[in-house]
Structure formats: C-alpha cells, structure tokens
Chain A
Amino acid sequence: MSETLLIALEILGLGWGGVFLVLFVIYLCSFALSKLFPPKDDKGGAA
C-alpha cells in the first residue's frame, strides 16, 4: 500500500471522524443552549 494511500485513509478516519466529533459536541451545546436559554427568557424568541 502506497504512502499516499495510507495518508488518505488516515484523513478518512481522523478527518471524517473529527467532523462527527465536532458536530456531536456542537449538538450537545445546542441542546444545552436551548435548555439554559428557553424562549420565555426574552422577547425576541423565534422558531
């Protein structure tokens, strides 16, 4: 297996996995934000 292909596979694992990780953490934070700052807290709430 060529060195380039190995790097490409590493990018697949770490890169795509990294995207999932970042978005999962953002998901958790979004969840926390909606709990911490429910719409009734301000008048400018919007769906």
Chain B
Amino acid sequence: MATEPGRLVMILIGVILMYLGIKKEYEPTLLVPMGLGTILVNIPDSGVLMTGGEAGPFQILFDMGISTELFPLLLFIGIGAMIDFGPLLSNPFLLMFGAAAQFGIFFVIIVASLLGFHIEDAASIGIIAAADGPTSIFVANSLGSQYMGAIMVAAYSYMALVPIIQPVAIKAVTTKKERQIRMEYHPGAVSQTAKIIFPVVICIIAGLIAPVSLPLVGFLMFGNLLRECGVLDSLSRSAQNELVNLISILLGLCVSVKMVYTDFLQIDTLLVMGLGLLGFVMDSVGGVMFAKILNLFRKEKINPMVGAAGISAFPMSSRVIQKMATEEDPQNFILMQAAAANVSGQIASVVAGGLVLGLLI
C-alpha cells in the first residue's frame, strides 16, 4: 500500500464521500455506499473485485446491474411513481422550461470536445448536467465512457449542492427586480383520466421522435402509471420505497468498481468534475435566459427564476427557487410554477439523454 499512494488517496476520498453523506446529508443513499465501496475496492488484492481468479461480488453486481443498464432503469420506475404531473398538466406551458434548462448538457459537450475529449466521453460528461443520476449512468455506460466513476460522483454531488449552485448562478444573470416578479397561479383542475393517459402519451411521442430514449422514458412513465392508475397503489408504494431503496444500495456499492485509483486519479477526473459544475450552472442560466426572452413578448411576465427550476433535481430545485423568491419578496409565491417546471425537467432530461444517445449510437 505504501508503494501505491493512490490507494490511500482514494480511501481518503471514500471517507470524504461518507462524511458528505452522513454529516452533511448530501445524497446519503448514494454517497454512503459509494464511499465505503471506494474504500473496499482500493484495498490491495480486494476480494470485492476479484476472488480466486473469478469476478468478485462488486464486479458481478456491476456486470449485472450497470453494464446491462438495469439498475438505473429500475430506479426510474420508483422516480416515476414519486412524480405528480398534476401541476404541469394544469399549466402545460411550463413544459418548455424543462427543455430550456437542459442547455448545460449541450454547452458542456461543446466545451469538453474543445478540451480534447472524445465525443463519447464529452457527451457522457455533458449528461452530468441532466441533474439526473440514473440518466448519467445510463448514457455514460451506453457510450462506454472511461469516466464513469467521476461522472457518478459529480452527478450526485452537484445534485446535492443545487441549493448552493443555483442561487449563485441565478443571481449572476438576474436583477433583484426580476427576481421579485410575481406570477399568478391558475390552478386548473386535472381529471384522473388525463393523468392516466399522460404517461402513455409521453411514451408514444418520445418513442416516435426519439426511440432510443424509450428505455429511460418508458420506465419513468411506467412508474408514473403505477401511481396514477388507481388500482396499483401497493405496487406504486413499493416502487417509491422498497425498489428505490434496494437499487440505491446496490447501485452505490457496485459503481465503486469505477473508483479504483488507477482509473480515478487522473487530471481528467478534475476536468470532468469542473465541467459537471459548469453544466449545472449553465442549466440555470439557460432556463433563466429562456424566461427572459419569453418576457420580451409577454404581457404577463414570468419570474425568470422559474426557468432555472427546469432541471431534473426534483423537488429540490423548486424549493430553492421559492426560497429565493421569498427572500426577495416575502409575499411572492411561485412554488407551484417552479414545481411544474421542475417535473418538466424530469421528462426533458431523459429525453435529452435519449436524443444524445440516438445521435451517437
């Protein structure tokens, strides 16, 4: 071990990940198993990777769950079961903010390609800005990126840091007056029939326009159908709790396979982390700028911060936006609009992931 200081550095990184998860409560469901997993895979001759010349348990889990892309997809069933599309269906106009706030993905792909990354790696790094861990894993694995470990750490760390990253990014591109804009909420009632048909319609549309996105969209919408159909409440609860918890445990552990020091300790890893952060910032900037452009043509102005809520980190982003709005004007309530943009970001991020795959595979 003394001759391989990289192992000690990775063990320290594992401890830091666990510290962030346990003490700071940053995405603990992923960072805690990933932190311990990082320690386990970096111990010399670790049996979790290879045992008796055969693949060890972590490697087997990785081959079964990540290489086949099953774990991130199964996680999507649970995520879909957690999402209420009601606020979005009553204000479908806010869907477009989900599209705008994916700007960071495409911006980072360009910057990464300028920095000399292969296009597959550049695209995988860009997808960190989807603010959606399972999509990042799915795309990075499908494209065979060598930076899977760094991409996972960046995706989940920055998702946890949304309350710190977004206010800085939003304040940099908005004025106080803009952040004080009040928006009237028109809570249109949505029928249960519409809520049931909605996930099916999304599958069909996404399938016709971007068939490669169907694994992501289909599993997400299947989870939502469990929630909304009204006759599978028990399955919906299982998907939201047991399924998500089980997969999170396995995912966190087996992703550590990509945290071996020889793969992780490279200058490129720092670049990946930096580009991921840039992507999160540019997502917020893209959403805000889209709202500002729309405001040029609208009589009823949109609070540009709602645009920044179009990222996939749900419900954290919408809460951050409401908190910022209240800080500027205690009587300003834009939570419902921000929540609608936020769930739209869930749809948009999986569609973006599918489209990027479709363009490269």
Contact = CB atoms under 8 A, between A and B. Distances in A.
Give the interface residue-count category, chain A.
35 or more
Query: Interface of chain B, helix or strand or loop or mixed?
Result: helix
A8 B113 contact: yes
B192 A46 contact: yes
Nearest to A13: B106
Nearest to B290: A20
A8 B122 CA distance: 8
A1 to B, nearest CB: 10
Interface stretch (B169-177, B200-208, B241-249): B200-208
Contacts of A30: 88-89, 92, 95, 198
A37 B355 contact: no
A8 B105 CA distance: 11
Interface residues of B, number: 54
A45 B190 contact: yes
A40 B86 CA distance: 16
Contacts, number: 146
Contacts of A38: 191
Contacts of A46: 86, 189-190, 192, 195
B209 interface: yes
A28 to B, nearest CB: 8
Contact of A11 (B187, B189, B205, B359): B359
Interface string B297-327: 0000000000000000000000000000000
A41 B194 CA distance: 10
B188 A15 contact: no
B352 A19 contact: yes
A27 B341 CA distance: 12
Given A7-B113, A7-B119, A26 B201 contact: yes
The 4 closest A-B pairs by CB, nearest first: A44-B192, A30-B92, A39-B189, A8-B113
Given A5-B113, A15-B359, A22-B210, 11 more contacts: A7-B113, A9-B110, A20-B99, A21-B209, A23-B351, A26-B201, A33-B201, A34-B89, A44-B192, A45-B189, A47-B87
